[in-house]
Structure 1
Amino acid sequence: MRIKSIITTVTAVTALLALTTACGGDATPTAGTGGDSSAANGAGDGGPNEGTLDNPTKNGGVYGSAPKDGTAFQKLPKAGTMAAAARFVNGFTQCDRVSTTPGEDGPSEDSKLGPAYTVTETGYCGRRNVTTIVLYKDPKAFQTAFKAEMEKNGGGNPNSGIVVGQDFAVGSQSADAMSALLQPQAGLLMLNCHADFNPPSGFRKEPALVKGCVLTDYYKD
């Protein structure tokens, strides 16, 4: 969803949704994106970022960390670091230079996510449209805070939300960027907490970590 539409419903979340600009990268990330080839082939060093984009391993990689019968959330990509998250996003939409400052076209200081979201780091990328990436340490707390903010501000567009991974979330001023991150190759899903959300048949609507929210690959600006 575009930043301006989010501002009307979730002021605090605009910083997050400003994350993914209309980045049109050519490369398609694989399980080894952001890590070295030896780690991707199962020779991980078992370090603190093992199983993330920085250090994927054969049995704990970005797409292989969850069992085949794992939940939709368990199968989402996991970044580990801001650099890894930005590289991943850049594979689908422009995010080749990430910064800790939003620049003049980015979200305002007062739109940053509060403590309830457990955000540990925020990054901005993109040129004409700003893309915002946040890393968070508690996914359930993040989803709870997102739902509360949506309810507080009236919900807004029932077909929008925020794109999430296991430990990071992305938002953009560009609807095209948001859609690009939901394509099957990306493996990300949108957190939607609208009570009236009812996607067309064929789109995913999986349980999120918080009751009343779902993870979906459907988005309409």
Structure 2
Amino acid sequence: MRTKQALAAAAALLALLGTASCDEGAGPPGSQSGEVPAGKNGGLTGGGSGGDGTASGRVEAQLAKVAGTDELVRLISNATTCTSASTKPKDTTFSDIDAPSEGAAAGIAKTNAEWGIKERVTCDGKDASANGHELLVISDMARFETAFKARQAADLAAGEGDTRTRWFIGQNFAARIFATDSDEREMLSLGTLGLNCAPHYVAPPQSTTQPAIVKGCILTNYVDA
């Protein structure tokens, strides 16, 4: 059964996205598809991070928020299997964000500073032999989006990445889950949206997109099949 916090955040988010195209200054018709209007400084008007480092953009402020890794694990468990949680460096070194040449502890400290990450935790999905879910408590969402944008662009330039939306964000957390498409879609009901910073990324017309804090990044309710 989903938490009241997740349901409230999801309901508020759906209401916000459903009326976004009617807001004054929200952009031209079609801004809810791949044509994303830029706000001030290229992001949402008023976007940025709050005093505690969490997102304060118009859309981000409506997303779910967690108190720490324990609550993040409980939240994710409402969408997919999340067992055997661990915060150990050897378990929470993630190849898609950490430098492969450095030791676990040193690499984590460096990445955390660059990406605005406060805490990390991982947990197992249905297939424990597969990659564990990557769960991050974020202290600075603008910094996280900036670092992710640079990493996604570099991977694409090297022919190693793709344009799929893989990270889901809340006000102060980011999650990449290794699960089924239906589980990923279930993440949206927890008060999260997908983050995508791929250049020229266009979500399908039936989906909804809004500018993220960082110019060139969007938040979308589209989950790639």
TM-score category by the smaller chain? Answer: 0.5 to 0.7
d(CA) in 1 for partners of 2:182, 2:134: 11
Counterpart in the other structure of 1:122: 120
Counterpart in the other structure of 2:3: 29
Q: Cα deviation per residue 1:53-109 (whole Å; 9 max; x = unaligned)? A: xxxxxxxx7568999687221111011211111101001111144211377798457
In structure 2, the gaps of 5 or more residues are 17-22, 24-56, 101-107
- Of Structure 1 and Structure 2, the greater helix share is in 2
Q: Does 1:168 align with 2:173?
A: yes
SS of 2:156's partner is coil
Moved more, 171-180 or 105-114: 105-114
d(CA) in 2 for partners of 1:32, 1:80: 13
Q: Cα deviation per residue 1:14-36 (whole Å; 9 max; x = unaligned)? A: xxxxxxxxxxxxx3232278xxx
Question: Could you tell me the TM-score, scaled by structure 2's length?
Answer: 0.63
Moved more, 82-91 or 120-129: 120-129
Identity %: 25
SS of 1:163's partner is strand
SS of 2:168's partner is strand
Residues 79 and 184, structure 2, Cα contact 8 Å, conserved in 1: no
Residues 212 and 218, structure 2, Cα contact 8 Å, conserved in 1: yes
* 1:151 aligned residue (145, 150, 153): 153
Q: Does 1:198 align with 2:207?
A: no
Quote the offset at 1:208 in angstroms.
0.1
Counterpart in the other structure of 1:42: none
Counterpart in the other structure of 1:75: 62
Report how many residues are paired.
Answer: 167
Quote the offset at 1:119 in angstroms.
0.8
Question: Could you tell me the TM-score, scaled by structure 1's length?
Answer: 0.64
In structure 1, the gaps of 5 or more residues are 1-26, 34-60
Moved more, 157-166 or 82-91: 157-166
Residues 6 and 191, structure 2, Cα contact 8 Å, conserved in 1: no
Residues 87 and 96, structure 1, Cα contact 8 Å, conserved in 2: no
Counterpart in the other structure of 1:53: none
1:174-193 paired onto structure 2 within 5 Å: 174-176=179-181, 179-183=184-188, 185-193=189-197
**Cα RMSD for the two superposed structures:** 3.1
